[in-house]
A = this chain, B = another copy of it.
Amino acid sequence: MIPGEVLKHLKRVGVRLTPQRQEILQVLWERAQAGGQPVNAEEVMKRVRKRYPAISLDTVYRTLATFTREGIVNELQFKDQSRRYELVIQGEHHHHLVCLGCGYVREIAYCPEDIIKRVRESYTDFKIEEHSFTIYGYCAECRED
């Protein structure tokens, strides 16, 4: 089930709850339940099409952008050039460990908050909005040595 909170939030900020958006949310939710591997737009489209065959890729992109703007979704940009998305779980914050071989993503709970705080204090004219921290390497299956 889609978290009721999210639906309430969308309603509150005046984002219409179309069936397409509900399906996309559903797909993201299922993904989060099934291990939290981030998805790209293409993948979201494929999954949504199983239940809603007419959805366009453009709608998926627009919706993901809207959800990102509303803080419901995180838009991730790794080195592999395609954006991936993950549902934001309430009050949770994490970073990623990405395998350069297979692309598998693991969450890491640590966050360099101390550095962000220091940067905020030393660059007072810069208004910090967000940050990304990603560690790349090779997982057990992909490493060669």
Interface positions of A from 71 to 104, Cβ below 8 Å from B: 75, 77-79, 81, 97, 99-100
Q: How many residues of A contact B (CB 8 A)?
A: 36
Judge if A134 is at the interface, Cβ distance under 8 Å: yes
Within 8 Å by CB of A129, from B78, B128, B129, B138, lies B138
A130 to chain B, nearest CB (A): 5
Within 8 Å by CB of A119, from B108, B115, B118, B119, lies B108
Residue of B nearest to A129 (CB): B137
User: Looking at A78, A99, A119, A126, which has the most chain B CB atoms within 10 Å of its CB?
Assistant: A126
28 sampled A-B residue pairs with Cβ under 8 A? A97-B119, A97-B126, A99-B126, A100-B129, A108-B115, A110-B112, A110-B115, A110-B119, A111-B115, A112-B112, A119-B135, A125-B140, A125-B143, A126-B139, A126-B143, A127-B143, A128-B135, A128-B137, A129-B138, A130-B136, A130-B137, A131-B134, A131-B136, A132-B132, A132-B133, A132-B134, A133-B133, A133-B134
